[in-house]
Amino acid sequence: MSLMEHLSELRGRLFKCTLAVFILGTVSLLFAKPIFGVLMRPVLDALPEGNRALIYTSGIEELNVLMKVGVYCGIFLTTPVILWQIWGFVSPGLFPEERRYAAPFVMFGSLAFIAGACFCYFAVLPSMFKFLLNEEETLALEQRLDTARLRADDALRFLRVGDAERAGALAKETSASLRADGEGQSPAPERAPSQSVELKSRLAGLGKLVDAAADGYGVQSRGVLRQAVEKKVVAVTAYAKQDYAAASVAMDEAASLLAGVAPTRTEELSGLWKLEKELSAGEARHEAARWTRPMLTMHEQLSLVLLLILAFGIIFELPLVMALLGVVGVVQSKWLFKYQRHAFVVCLIAAAIITPTGDVVNLSLMAGPMLLCYELGVLLVWLVERRRARNAAETGITPVS
């Protein structure tokens, strides 16, 4: 075939690939939103609880994102067609016995691309976004506070059913655990904790404590409870006027009055109030540590996820591509062995460029499969050369090196 005939055939095969992408992409548009939700699951799971949402900054951004999902899904689904057209383009230059590898090439090529995409989705993306969107110290503090808050609620439930002794014991245990877990683990926040946030949380805790005491001992202590509620109203008024010192004093007085609800359980009730104050201080520190928060756009996160999925799909295709190049005689195993160290360096640099994080784990998850695929490709090229040499020996034809 002449050069123009080769170019004409290439144009025809590219047209077939484009037509397949267009048809399958159009079909994918019908399911673009559910597919987008699946693609964004690793991103949303890495976001803090209560902030798991993506934003769009223009009226047509959501439409553009769904269109992009459809196009990329079309490319993904067209992988077998693309591989078949590639094989059809190079097959005229192959021996007859080599042309029978068309079906395995298409099948294993499609499976390799799917395997690379799945490896990226299930192994790389969750750890990557968790590293990008969460700070370990802040996350650890949040987990300790959540656990302590659940135990404090259980302590209040014991008080609500009249078991102040069990409530006090659980509060004391939780308070000690909270202090022990926080020693040396909570770095000083870059911003000072907000007194407003702390007092607001403390007011809510005082309200829960009053309600629990009223349910457990309210029949015989209505007068004391009324005085405690009056003090809490004073504290709320002071808080509204931003007189935080007066609000703090009024809340402490209200908590002291609650001790009169069960005079024999003063220590237990004081322990419950102490725990509420510690939790409020911890929540203020956590709020101060999270002064930067992610607001992720749909378009940017989709582009990042698709880039990584396609990158891993192509990386897992590397052995088959190298084997194909070996079949047509473009590369030789001895040349690949000679420049193996250079290939390792190139793989590491490419992994560092593609990986958006700087941690060793995600870099290894990118570079490791890349290096293994390169080694597998070298092995396949070597096997192709051995088979070609054996066939040439059987037919009496000297292979061209």
Global pTM value: 0.66
Quote the pLDDT of residue 183.
47
- For 110-156, how does the pLDDT look when each residue is reduced to its tens digit (9 = 90+)? 888 889 999 999 988 888 888 777 766 677 777 888 888 899 999 99
For residues 307 and 172, membership in a common domain is answered with no
In a domain, 88, yes or no: yes
Contact 137, 189 (CB under 8 A): no
In a domain, 244, yes or no: yes
Q: At which residue do the structure tokens 């490709």 appear? A: 377
For the segment 290-297, the average pLDDT, to the nearest whole number, is 78
Domain end, chosen from 292, 326, 354, is at 292
Distance between CA atoms of residues 239 and 237, nearest Å: 5
For residues 72 and 112, membership in a common domain is answered with yes
pLDDT category of residue 97 using cuts at 50, 70 and 90 = low
In a domain, 400, yes or no: no
In a domain, 275, yes or no: yes
pLDDT category of residue 95 using cuts at 50, 70 and 90 = low
pLDDT category of residue 184 using cuts at 50, 70 and 90 = very low
Distance between CA atoms of residues 229 and 258, nearest Å: 9
In a domain, 374, yes or no: yes
For residues 30 and 99, membership in a common domain is answered with yes
Share of the chain above pLDDT 90, in %: 15
Quote the pLDDT of residue 34.
92
Burial of 190 (0-12, 13-18, 19+ CB in 10 A): exposed
For residues 149 and 286, membership in a common domain is answered with yes
In a domain, 399, yes or no: no
C-alpha closest to that of 324 among 114, 84, 119, 118: 84
Distance between CA atoms of residues 280 and 204, nearest Å: 9
Query: Looking at this protein, which amino acid is placed at residue 355?
Result: T
Distance between CA atoms of residues 288 and 293, nearest Å: 11
For residues 260 and 305, membership in a common domain is answered with no
For the segment 253-258, the average pLDDT, to the nearest whole number, is 87
For residues 155 and 63, membership in a common domain is answered with no
Quote the pLDDT of residue 65.
92
Per-residue CA distances from 215 to 168, 169, 346 (Å): 16, 19, 70
For residues 329 and 285, membership in a common domain is answered with no
Q: At which residue do the structure tokens 């902030």 appear? A: 51
For residues 101 and 146, membership in a common domain is answered with no
Burial of 287 (0-12, 13-18, 19+ CB in 10 A): middle
Tokens of 217: 């001992």
Question: Quick check: 105 pLDDT over 90?
Answer: no
Burial of 100 (0-12, 13-18, 19+ CB in 10 A): exposed
C-alpha closest to that of 314 among 126, 76, 69: 76
For residues 158 and 283, membership in a common domain is answered with yes
For residues 154 and 203, membership in a common domain is answered with yes
DSSP state of 52: -
Domain that holds residue 284: 137-292
Question: Quick check: 340 pLDDT over 50?
Answer: yes
| Structural domain total, the chain | 2
Domain end, chosen from 292, 315, 335, is at 292
For residues 280 and 231, membership in a common domain is answered with yes
Measured on CA atoms in the order 164, 167, 173, 178, is the torsion positive or negative? negative
Domain end, chosen from 275, 292, 309, is at 292
In a domain, 401, yes or no: no
- For 157-166, how does the pLDDT look when each residue is reduced to its tens digit (9 = 90+)? 998 888 888 9
Q: Determine the straight-line distance between the first and last CA of the chain, rounded to whole angstroms.
A: 22
DSSP secondary structure string, 88-102? HHHGGGS-HHHHTTH
In a domain, 359, yes or no: yes
Distance between CA atoms of residues 145 and 172, nearest Å: 15
Quote the pLDDT of residue 36.
93
Q: At which residue do the structure tokens 């193996």 appear? A: 340
Quote the pLDDT of residue 41.
93
For residues 284 and 192, membership in a common domain is answered with yes
Q: What mean pLDDT, rounded, does the chain reach?
A: 82
